[in-house]
Amino acid sequence: MINEPFIPRTITVHLGTPQSNARNVTVNFPDYIKNVASSEIYPTWPESAIRANIYAITTFALNRIYTEHYRSQGYNFDITNSTQYDQAFVQGRDIFSNISRIVDELFNDYVVKEGTISPYFTQYCSGRGVNCKGLKQWGTVDLANRGYVPYDMLRYYYGNVNLVRNAPVRANIPSYPGRALRQGDRGEDVRTIQRELNRIAANYPAIPTVPVDLGVYDAATERAVRAFQRIFNLAQDGIVGKETWYRLKYIYASVKGLSELYSEGITYSEAQRAFSRVLQEGSRGSEVRTIQYYLNFIGFFNDTLPEISVDGIFGPGTRNAVLAFQRYYGLTQDGIVGRDTWNRIQTVYQSILNNLPREYQSYSSLIYPGYVLSVGSTGRVVEQLQSYLRVIGQNNNSVPVINVDGSFGNATRNAVRAVQRLYGIEQTGIVGPATWNAIVELYNGYRA
């Protein structure tokens, strides 16, 4: 599932049934709509009927793209030209001029169920010889002759629906983030997984529900992922790689009926992003601190990156460091931290950690381990964290003294929150790079 609906610049069409060994063609989205409309309806129909059908044709295609209906099943296309499954597309056919004109006006408008943002599954059929529960193409002609406008026709066939107008146009980028997600990761992609798991769990109670507010891939999320993988016959590794990611998409769309007339739809609150994936000059907060920490660490081993302050403020210095990183690693040099830059920064950081020069290995316990720590985390790194917090607590009354047992429980979380409060970091009780850096800084100050 793609979080935010949009109009794709192109659409890839499979020239046959989904399982057939047919060619794929990629065409501009408006040209695709013109082709389908010229293949499905008659140019001599009343204009209001033509417009209603174009709305249905456009929204049907957007639903296939938004739900990643075919790509989530392992296919390398967005839609087929088989009317048994999708809608007609005849490569190279002539386009009717009046249909072309109307599509140019309407191609970035689509139908949504009232109260939702996801493109509705606008099923339709001819209405002559073939009947369905959605829009009847010949029926729109009758309605037009009775004075119905396109919007009224859509509500006549689909019920309480609305139109989204002038939707943004952008490239159709697959939703998979490009790397496997696992315990310790944090961000919007994790939050998406958690939200989908919770909805699937309503139909499959063997999957435990998980909190989604913080978007942390914790031990509970890993257990839920393993349960999902067990139920749907995937490798039970607790990691969301590409196969698990797209199986989640497919099952989530199925239980919500996103490709059915009875669709629940996706509400704005469900699609709203809790964490901005785009950081740029003027941004502030813990995510900026995280980027600054990573860039400083990488810069210690790469002289082309300037040293910057870890202050949570994305100023000119941070922008210059981002530009230097992008230039060195062959990324688009815009000084903005989007998904590609964020993922590359994390990858480079982890690579350096895994290949630390021998002279720095004795300091490795003071370096952020590359994944978040939260309630439920266990092991040697948690022991290290607790030992630092204990020293801090013994020297600073505002931080509680805790035991060192290798298990991240409520006491550890409270101590972490106390440090976050001291440093003006959001008091989540979760240890990411910015919080780790603050803890180590305090620890080093007290042990000196």
pLDDT digits (tens, 9 = 90+) for 265-319: 877 656 655 444 589 999 988 789 889 989 999 998 899 999 999 888 999 999 9
Residue 360's pLDDT band, with cuts at 50, 70 and 90, is: low
pLDDT at 358 over 80: no
Q: Label residue 232 by pLDDT band (50, 70, 90).
A: very high
Rounded Cα distance between 214 and 427, Å, is 11
Q: Say whether pLDDT at 400 is over 80.
A: yes
Tell me, what's the pLDDT at 216?
Answer: 85
Model pTM score? 0.66
Lowest mean pLDDT segment, chosen from 61-70, 223-232, 347-356: 347-356
Average pLDDT, the chain: 90
Greater confidence (387 vs 277) lies with: 387
Q: Mean pLDDT, to the nearest integer, of 411-437? A: 91
Q: Report percent pLDDT > 90 for the chain.
A: 64
Residue 390 has pLDDT above 80, yes or no: yes
Question: Which whole number is the average pLDDT over 216-221?
Answer: 90
pLDDT bin (cut points 50, 70, 90) of residue 214 is low
